[in-house]
Amino acid sequence: QFLGLKWQDGRHQIPLNAINKITAMSPPTSKKETQAFLGVVGFQRMHIPNYSLIVSPYHQPVALHGKKNDFKWDPEQRQAFEQIKEEIVHAVALGLVQAGQDVKNVLYTAAEENGPTWSLWQKAPGETRGRPLGFWSR
């Protein structure tokens, strides 16, 4: 374990206690609670493909940028809340970076209307699919 991150069998997984805490969370009822929720799930964002796209409804003017008493929870925020919790439950384990001539690094990129996304994978000899090292989005 390093900085709260668990490494086991050469892979980094979201700890089960973190998954349980996130899935047990109730929908936020204020701007401050929304920011706290985003902080908790954002810490695990490298495990979540298209993280920024999923949480983009939280960055709408009414959700986080309005005045203190203007907090509003629309269906888009509710759907994003449920989806990100589901993604946390099904998050893939990330592999350790391996070095060597036979190890292939593959960078996948995409440009979407909400911004770019990319993921880095490694494929070692004998592996058919490869291992994700991380997912990023803006």
In the chain, the amino acid numbered 120 is L
- Over the stretch 51-109, which tens digit does the pLDDT of each residue have? 988 998 887 654 555 565 567 778 998 999 999 999 999 998 888 888 888 999 999 89
Per-residue pLDDT of 83-92, as tens digits, reads 999 999 999 8
* CB burial of residue 14 (10 Å; 0-12, 13-18, 19+): buried
Alpha carbons 70 and 61: distance in angstroms, whole number: 10
* Residue 9 structure tokens: 């069998």
Judging by beta carbons within 10 Å of its beta carbon (0-12, 13-18, 19+), is residue 99 exposed, middle or buried?
Answer: exposed
